[in-house]
Amino acid sequence: MVSPAGSPRTIGLLGGMSAESSIEYERLINAEVRRVLGGSHSASLLVRSYDFGVIEELQSRGAWQEAGVLLAGDARQLQAAGAELIVLCTNTMHRVAPAIEAAIEVPFLHLADTTAAAVRAAGLRHVGLLGTRFTMEGAFYRDRLADGGVTTLVPDEPDRSLVHDVIYDELVQGIVEPTSRARVVAVIERLAARGAEGIIAGCTEIELLVTADDVSLPYFPTTRLHALAAARWALGEAAGPGPAEGGIMDVSRTQGG
């Protein structure tokens, strides 16, 4: 619970994957703590921010075990420095979440769990998933969502390549192009035509490009859901979907952004 002095519990962030999304995590967590506690309060954060070029190189050569060792070691360091919760600020790198969870004694807030909880709270079960190729094609993320009662559709080719390339060639570099927004929205429309009831923005950069205002389906921006769940945990609240979101399509327009 919140300390007698009124300070929130300390969150350890594994970030920088990319820096663009990590900035959003810190902004959202701090804004939610300030909203709840008022005054000059902000979050208590310990941050390990990586050079994403190093992480991307590990991804590109499939060195997931090496990446897991790296992130797990730094999660232990965050715990040793006083972190009471570990948050991995990326969807794709949740592929190595088991290595992180095995390395620490404090809780680990899994991004797919907070997302599945929001989808269920909206009364949905079958949603489209956008993300990097690793997230869309790998079982690690879709299976975790399935464990949470959510089944997923992913784009067909060439739409998967389109989304992946927009993420790595533009969004992680801070480039937000209206033409790319229109192309990704068209991918979402094709998923809707295949039966998707909602859309998971399963890459922390996608919601920098596409918001709930751009789509007709319920929209689940994973960065915001994850960050607000972490903030609620730090404030002593449950980490599932709360009143601020309700787990519905307009979560990207809630307090804090």
Rounded CA gap, 81 and 20, in Å? 25
Q: Where are the domains positioned within the chain?
A: 10-110+223-238, 112-222
Architecture of domain 112-222: 3-Layer(aba) Sandwich (3.40)
Give the pTM.
0.88
Q: Is 89 a catalytic residue?
A: no
Asked if 10-110+223-238 and 112-222 have one fold, the answer is yes
Confidence of residue 247 (pLDDT cuts 50, 70, 90): very low
Check pLDDT > 90 for residue 21.
no
Dihedral, CA of residue 102, residue 103, residue 109 and residue 114, to nearest 10: -40
Angle of the 64-80 helix axis to the 52-60 helix axis, nearest 10: 150
How many other C-beta atoms are found inside a 10 Å radius of the C-beta of residue 60? Answer: 10
Confidence of residue 147 (pLDDT cuts 50, 70, 90): very high
3-state helix, strand, coil in the chain (%, to 5): 55, 10, 35
Per residue in 80-96, pLDDT tens? Answer: 999 999 999 999 999 99
229-255 average pLDDT score? 55
Q: Is 90 a catalytic residue?
A: yes
- Give the dihedral sign, CA 193/157/125/172: negative
Q: Which strands sit side by side in the sheet containing 151-153, from one edge to the other?
A: 151-153, 126-130, 199-201, 219-221
Active-site option among 92, 203, 204, 223: 203
Per residue in 25-80, pLDDT tens? Answer: 999 999 999 999 999 999 999 999 999 999 999 999 999 999 999 999 999 999 99
Q: Does domain 10-110+223-238 have CATH number 3.20.20.70?
A: no
Q: Which strands sit side by side in the sheet containing 44-49, from one edge to the other?
A: 44-49, 10-15, 85-88
Q: Which residues face 152 on adjacent strands?
A: 127
Angle of the 222-234 helix axis to the 19-37 helix axis, nearest 10: 40
Closest of 212, 228, 246 to residue 35, by C-alpha:
228
Active-site option among 90, 132, 135, 222: 90
